[in-house]
Amino acid sequence: MALNNTSSGYNTPESELEGVLPVHPTAARRPHAIVVQSENTSYSDEYITASFQNRGAEVTVSNGQYIVNPTVQSFEFQTKRVPSKTGLMMIGVGGNNGTTLCATILANRHNMVWHTKEGIQQPNYIGSLLRASTVRIGTDPVTGKDVHVPVSDVLPMVHPNDLVLGGWDISSVALDKAMERARVLDYDLQRQVAPHLAVIGKPLPSIYYPDFIAANQEARADNLIPGNDKQAHLEHIRADIRKFKEDNGLDRIVVFWTANTERYSDIIPGVNDTADNLLASINSSHPEVSPSTLFAVAAILEGEPFVNGAPQNTFVPGVIQLAERHQSFIGGDDLKSGQTKLKSVLAEFLVNAGIKPLSIASYNHLGNNDGHNLSAERQFKSKEISKSSVVDDMVDANRLLYKAPEIGPKGVPVGKGEHPDHIVVIKYVPAVGDSKRAIDEYYSEIFCGGRNTISIFNECEDSLLATPLILDLTILTELLTRVKYRKMSGETKEFVPLYPVLSLLSYMLKAPLVKPGTDVVNSLNRQRNALESFLKACVGLESNSDLLLETRIW
pLDDT tens per residue, range 58-85: 999 988 899 999 999 999 999 999 999 9
CA-closest candidate to residue 235, choices 199, 290, 178, 283: 283
The active-site residue out of 436, 462, 472, 536 is 436
CA-closest candidate to residue 10, choices 179, 198, 162, 163: 198
Mean pLDDT (the chain) is 90
Q: What is the mean pLDDT of residues 264-278?
A: 95
User: 94-132 pLDDT, tens per residue?
Assistant: 999 999 999 999 999 999 999 999 999 999 999 999 999
The active-site residue out of 85, 336, 383, 536 is 383
Residue 535 Rama label (left phi>0; alpha psi -120 to 50; beta): alpha
Q: What is the DSSP letter of 128?
A: -
User: 375-388 pLDDT, tens per residue?
Assistant: 556 665 655 665 56
Q: Quick one: pLDDT at residue 432?
A: 83
Residues 387, 393: Cα–Cα separation, whole Å: 13
| 266 flagged as catalytic | no
Listed in sequence order, the residues at least 6 apart from 223 whose beta carbon sits closer than 8 Å to its beta carbon are 169, 170, 171, 172, 202, 203, 205, 206
User: 415-428 pLDDT, tens per residue?
Assistant: 788 989 988 888 88
User: In this predicted model, which residue has the larger pLDDT, 392 or 512?
Assistant: 512
The active-site residue out of 336, 343, 356, 510 is 510
Residues 400, 403: Cα–Cα separation, whole Å: 7
| 45 flagged as catalytic | no
User: 173-194 pLDDT, tens per residue?
Assistant: 999 999 999 999 999 999 999 9
| 510 flagged as catalytic | yes
Q: Quick one: pLDDT at residue 551?
A: 78
User: How would you class 37 by CB atoms within 10 Å of its CB: exposed for 0-12, middle for 13-18, buried for 19 or more?
Assistant: exposed
**Whether the Cβ atoms of residue 99 and residue 468 lie closer than 8 Å to each other:** no
The active-site residue out of 153, 334, 434, 472 is 334
Residue 512 Rama label (left phi>0; alpha psi -120 to 50; beta): beta
User: 530-549 pLDDT, tens per residue?
Assistant: 999 999 999 999 887 788 77
Q: How confident is the model at residue 408 (pLDDT cuts 50, 70, 90)?
A: confident
| 247 flagged as catalytic | no
Q: Where are the beta strands (DSSP E) in 130-272?
A: 134-139, 146-150, 164-169, 204-205, 252-257
Q: Quick one: pLDDT at residue 2?
A: 64
Strand 421-428 with 483-487, pairing: unpaired
Of all helices (H) and strands (E), which one includes residue 439? Answer: strand 435-445
